[in-house]
Amino acid sequence: MIGEGPSRGGAPGAVVTGSSRGIGAAVARGLAARGFGVCVNYASREAPAEALVREIEAAGGRAFAREADVSDFEQAKGLVEETAERFGGVRVVVNNAGFSQHRTLEEITVEDWARSLAVNLSAAFYTTKAAVPYLRREPWGRIVNVSSLRAMTGSDHGAHYAAAKSGLIGLTKSLALELAPGITVNAVSPGYTRTDMTACDLERHGEAIRARIPAGRVAEPAEIAALVVFLASEEAGYITGETIGINGGIYMR
């Protein structure tokens, strides 16, 4: 495993679930640049996770790669515990792990439904539950949940995904109330973003999608990460319980 040795110095740890690629990887880079020791979590893609750790370390940051299926509480707990041990604590949790399918109601199986809720919603609960005792020991703590545009608009090809991401917003508000004042809890709701998850959609329907976005383009992962990293910072201490859309104007409340 890359980054096996203990790490000292700098800010405490930041857990970023599902961070071997896409938005999660961009968040890991941003938090490392802010001085946090970062846990780069992956479920199956070890090579890109290790490559990201090497990149962060080459830039002077601290990180390690950790395999864990965070839809399982014991694995999520182990992920948090190792981060705290390596970096002397945990101050930030970014619940980014996600699972998406293009399926209609008739096509969604009971197993699909269970998996979507497990990865998109339960994993955030499990990781947060494991992390809160560590967050409470810090002068301040931050939890950022990555929801989705679909939580706002619904979906005609992924009801299970939209439902789970909507539940994540309810979890965000509830935990913001419960964990105040020392720990803030917020969500970001990205629109179309250039990631592996959206590659198929953008390849098939990219022109039509961009035509619907006032900004005229899809987001880059680093743009979403910039908002997440700000919400994870000390400067964002007066923002809690919010869900912030970052979608190029395609959805305005």
- Please state whether beta strands 36-42 and 62-67 pair in parallel, antiparallel, or not at all (unpaired): parallel
The continuous run of DSSP H or E covering 243 comes out as strand 243-246
The DSSP line for 143-180 is: EEEE--THHHH--SSBHHHHHHHHHHHHHHHHHHHHHT
In angstroms, the CA 17 to CA 121 distance is 12
Whats the size of the chain, residue-wise?
253
Whether 161 is catalytic is yes
Tokens 């965070």, located at residue: 70
Number of helices followed by number of strands (H, E) in the chain: 9, 7
- Catalytic pick among 126, 134, 161, 192: 161
In angstroms, the CA 78 to CA 70 distance is 9
DSSP conformational letter for 234: G
Cβ atoms of residues 246 and 210 within 8 Å: no
Residue 127: Cβ-neighbour burial (10 angstroms; 0-12, 13-18, 19+): buried
Cite the active site residues: 161
